[in-house]
Structure 1
Amino acid sequence: METIIDIDHVSFSYAGEDTRALDDITLTVHPGDMLGIIGPSGAGKSTLAAAMSGAIPHHFGGAFYGAVRVDGRDTCEATLTDISRVVGSVLQDIDAQMVASVVEDEVLFGLENFGVPHDQIEERVSSILETVGIADLRHRELATLSGGQKQKVAIAAILALQPRVLVLDEPTAALDPASSLVVYDTLRAINRELGITIVVIEQKVALLSRYCGRIAVMDAGRIVLDGSPREVFAHASELRAIGVDSPRVARVSNSLAAAGLTDAAEPCLRVDEAVALIERICARHGVTLPAPAEPPVRHAPANDGAAERPAGEPILALRDVSFAYPGGGGSVRNLSLTVYPGELVGIVGQNGAGKTTLTKLVNGLLKPASGSVTVAGLDTRTVRVSQIARHAATLFQNPDHQICRDTVLDEVAFGLELAGVEAAEARRRALPVIERFGLPADEAPFSLSRGQRQMVALASVVVLEPELIILDEPTSGLDYRECMTVMETVRDMARAGSAVLMVCHDMEVVSDFAERIAVMADGEILSVGPASALFADEALMRAARIEPPQVIELAHALERTVSPAFAGLHEVSEVVACVKELVNRG
């Protein structure tokens, strides 16, 4: 079969490094493929993308062995310009890739640099903006766009050059579920309609299983699995061992197979497949299934979740808070929310819903135009940000915006020093936190991967032992193992008495760890209440444009078609246990 990219026994070590970032990689990509690449942080995924695009060996120096052929040409012999006419790349950091201030100029930049004749440029720009679905953004400033819109601009700018292959490195890391689906719908459309080969590096395994026809799994610089999504996610235990998650419904069907309840060789990848599987299991074991019923009417609590809140005084209280940025955009209205010591409260909603604005109102970086925000009894309108920081610590969405020291140890100790702790004592207290996160104390933070830098930034927050922790996308860019390390640490801090306010786009993480959630849309809090109840409210999820976690969606469907016993379940183990109990009773 014809290949567009042929990687033949490639090994690569960066200059000055002994460890191989790629270790004897052999991989073929065929024209028209939509290939997903997954693996833990540091597995070599971004390095592999750089080898495919010609950035290795032309931009990154090091020891290179084997051969990468793009459209039959060896990348060591072809020029980077020639390679880029075949392979276009969208980097992990979109802002670092942008060179213009207006959408149209961003698309024009590459065309002019590639010497496209002027009489062809207008038609090509108009056509590609239409194809990607952003024709209405043509004259918008990039700074005013959402993360999903910027991602589509970056894709359009590369597609305008008419490459045959598009390589994307974690294109949805900072996007909400709805925006992520829009990006993947766009990728699938250009794959099917334009015939462009897609290679996408991603941590969101449910997305890859939904859109990609083939998945390759990397670990320690090697390809350890390569096949269809069903073939790959059938190896759940091997994936977990190397730090890669599986779609939750795949975990459900794999667990049922391990329990001997089904002989299905391949896992479920969609909720409807898991529903059908469990219905068949129950019917085969004599479980009486109810007649199909209408979905139960659920009314999400429209208050502050008062019925579920702990006793005592809140560490955080927002009371009817409104704020608008100068010039409009990003405003929030009538926000009311309380968070108590020991609570972990999630804030969910689409990009642009106002979540980050809410966190900036909490840490004092923004002052409310009306209403009040109190943190540990302090009114944020009347005290300095530094006073609030003694009680509340913030992990920002981009860890690079808060890293400033030369080593990991110095970075984690820095906050303690600012709080008046002696340098030696600060370093002593920082070391066990660094060890807990598995970080190299003497390494420079910016020499680490994006996921590791995220953990450095979180470690610098954890070491302060604050009364309130504000997390803005704490799991962005993390692999499964890192994500669990981070979230279990956060949960331990809540159990020790800290209040946690967490903005997160990963609904599975929110479902697993948050007791309550606040659902936001269009600058308002639509509802606050128990996570499992609100995620099961279909009308609320539609209003907020949120796709609920797979297990909650599965349990909700099974409640209607199999048994009320599934009501309120939100963990894989709970669903599997419920099926076993029904089968044993049947």
Structure 2
Amino acid sequence: MTARPARTGAAGLARAAATGDGGPAPAGPAVEVRDLTFRYPGAQRDSLTGVGLTIGRGDFTAVVGGNGSGKTTLCKTFNGLIPHFWSGTYSGEVRVFGQDTTTTGVAALSHRVGYVYQDFGNQLVRPTVHDEVSFGPVNFGLADWRERSEEALDLLGIDALRDRYTWQLSGGQQHLVALAGVLAMRPDLVVVDEPVAELDPARAEEIYRRLTDINRRLGTTVVVIEHHAEFIARYCKSVLLMADGAPVWHLPVEEAMARSGELAAHGIPAPQVVRLARAVEPEGKVPLTVEQTVRWLDGRGLRPAPGPGTPEPAAGEPATGPNAPAPQPGPVVASLRGVRHGYRDVHGGLTPVLRDVELELREGERIALVGGNGAGKSTLLRLLTGLKVPRSGTVEVTGTDTRTARPAQLAERVSYLYQRPEQMFLADSVRADIAMFPKGRGRPDTDELVDHILERVRLTPLADRDGRTLSGGQQRRATLGIGLAMAPALLLLDEPTSSLDVATRDDVIAMLEELADRIRCVVVATHDMHLVAEWATRVIALGDGRVLSDSGPAEFFADVELLERVHVVPPQITVLGTALGLVPPPLTVDECVGRLPVAAKEAGA
């Protein structure tokens, strides 16, 4: 056995932070942007307009804003991709650690700036995980490339994946590998576009803890493009709000989170504990974490009595929340009987993914499929489409065994929206992609249907753009439009809210509800626990290739041992409810507010 080099971990990174691997790091801010304007080739308007911005050395900045606000375009100027690779109309100045990005090449900048892209799968270029992580240091001829690779693998806790092929990994695992490859270069600035995209909640927390660690201990400047306000409130130091291609403000995180109404107007609702505090006190300082909120409530005498206590609905109103009756099951839409499946590696070995899965999916159900990265969620969805058939067992969709029908025939009954949105674009415009299926089936109201869906996904102004040229969030909305136009009996969505701002996520939920009369059953594989809490009527948890739990959302989130096993972190308001001793824990902010003593006082006022 070949001995591995000793790992220096933070020590090695600390040396890099001090020297930048190329001499003393220059004084001054990490990023300076002056009067920056940029327009993509062929675009009708500027993506960035007169941007002025300073990010200090050692800052941990969250860049927020609605889809298409210019967040990703701005960050691509930090490593020189704009203007060196995207050669649109460019004016202004960007300096990173004093270097002008227009006169410094991307290769030179990559020593100081590490970037994990929104489409992180496309930046993996080597066959195995270890090869990928070491690619940057090896490519630049760095003598300590082994040490760098080992410490990056160790830092992110993915050493066990070192010999796996990158194409065998789940999306979340690929994301971690992409970040490890960046950290192996020991950059002074790390930019991560959607850090928690496609990661299970436990891994998402770990990513932010790791980024916080290198920021605090090593002084590495961190910039994240983020839609999740809870992560921003807990880990970031400042917030940059973007709209229409320009900064609205750049503020310390406490001040930014206090502007909850303004953030919500830009598609970034405040953390759930902030919204709860604002429901109680419209003005004043707000707590940012669960621990702070417990103390905040105690200081106002508002701690609810522990135990059960969800209020009864008002007369004439339907029961909601965890005490609402479970919907009556309808006819079976799809079933899996004794399903086993796995994948062959290049050496011929079989890696099992699903083991003896037994499930029935019924009409009217809103099913959330949850579990850690690599648990088999995407594989299960593909089996339901007929794109893959199980190695043993039976999969049936509307009574048809998927072994006996081609996927094209099953497409009339089941629609699958891929985890990678760019795979869904076949035509030269979003409108044509959405119209493709209903038009091909001779549906007479295709034009009206397409117009309605474009409006619902808020893409009418971009209807004639090629879907592959849209931002990540816009692409996700377009693929949802493609799936909804198919109006199948069974709709399968793989991470449908990844990269979406919360306003668009709410639109997605509204669209699914609106089409309930045409779509008999919806299954969503997701790491978005807010979606699970607010939308699902049934939660199926996968782990070790098996169904570990099949229950309602309240029961699922109340099982602490199960949550840890499937790498799930509940929504912030549910964690707060558990800390307050509420049984079952609340699933929404409104439900939690209704269980506070202040609600009873106001009702009696």
Shift of 1:330: 4.8
1:12 equivalent among 35, 38, 52: 38
What does residue range 169-568 of structure 1 map to in structure 2 within 5 Å? 169-258=193-282, 265-282=284-301, 308=326, 310-326=328-344, 327-418=349-440, 420-421=441-442, 426-439=446-459, 440-494=462-516, 498-560=520-582, 567-568=584-585
TM-score, normalized by length of structure 2? Answer: 0.85
Shift of 1:513: 0.7
Match of 1:431, SS state, is helix
Shift of 1:445: 1.4
Is 1:71 the equivalent of 2:97? yes
| Consecutive aligned runs of 4 or more in structure 1 exceeding 6 Å deviation | none
Match of 1:332, SS state, is strand
On the 8 A contact 1:318/1:338 being kept in 2, the answer is yes
On the 8 A contact 1:469/1:501 being kept in 2, the answer is yes
The 1:125/1:312 distance shift into structure 2, 3 A limit, reads: closer
The 1:354/1:55 distance shift into structure 2, 3 A limit, reads: same
User: Could you tell me how far apart the structure 2 residues matched to 1:398 and 1:392 are?
Assistant: 18
User: Could you tell me how far apart the structure 2 residues matched to 1:222 and 1:574 are?
Assistant: 37
On the 8 A contact 1:244/1:481 being kept in 2, the answer is yes
What is aligned with 2:321?
Answer: none
Structure 1: gaps of 5 or more residues? 295-306
Deviations 1:74-110 (A, max 9, x none): 2223333332222222211122111211233323432
Match of 1:92, SS state, is coil
Is 1:156 the equivalent of 2:180? yes
Shift of 1:309: 5.1
Is 1:48 the equivalent of 2:74? yes
User: Could you tell me how far apart the structure 2 residues matched to 1:123 and 1:545 are?
Assistant: 30
RMSD (Å), alpha carbons: 2.5
User: Could you tell me how far apart the structure 2 residues matched to 1:478 and 1:293 are?
Assistant: 35
TM-score, normalized by length of structure 1? Answer: 0.88
On the 8 A contact 2:488/2:518 being kept in 1, the answer is no
Shift of 1:270: 1.8
Shift of 1:475: 0.9
On the 8 A contact 1:330/1:357 being kept in 2, the answer is no
User: Could you tell me how far apart the structure 1 residues matched to 2:329 and 2:94 are?
Assistant: 63
What is aligned with 1:300?
Answer: none
Deviations 1:450-493 (A, max 9, x none): 22222222112111221111111111111122111112101222
On the 8 A contact 1:536/1:553 being kept in 2, the answer is no
Match of 1:156, SS state, is helix
User: Could you tell me how far apart the structure 2 residues matched to 1:554 and 1:124 are?
Assistant: 40
Is 1:32 the equivalent of 2:58? yes
User: Could you tell me how far apart the structure 1 residues matched to 2:472 and 2:81 are?
Assistant: 19
Shift of 1:505: 0.9
Shift of 1:47: 0.9
Is 1:574 the equivalent of 2:591? yes
User: Could you tell me how far apart the structure 1 residues matched to 2:177 and 2:486 are?
Assistant: 39
Task: Report the residue type matching 1:104 in the other structure.
Answer: H
2:125 equivalent among 99, 110, 116: 99
What is aligned with 1:58?
Answer: 84
Deviations 1:2-49 (A, max 9, x none): 312111232222233342212222221222211111111111111111
Aligned residues: 555
User: Could you tell me how far apart the structure 2 residues matched to 1:114 and 1:166 are?
Assistant: 18
Task: Report the residue type matching 1:202 in the other structure.
Answer: E
Match of 1:53, SS state, is coil
Shift of 1:553: 2.2
User: Could you tell me how far apart the structure 2 residues matched to 1:293 and 1:329 are?
Assistant: 44
User: Could you tell me how far apart the structure 2 residues matched to 1:340 and 1:136 are?
Assistant: 38
Structure 2: gaps of 5 or more residues? 1-26, 309-324
On the 8 A contact 2:341/2:392 being kept in 1, the answer is yes
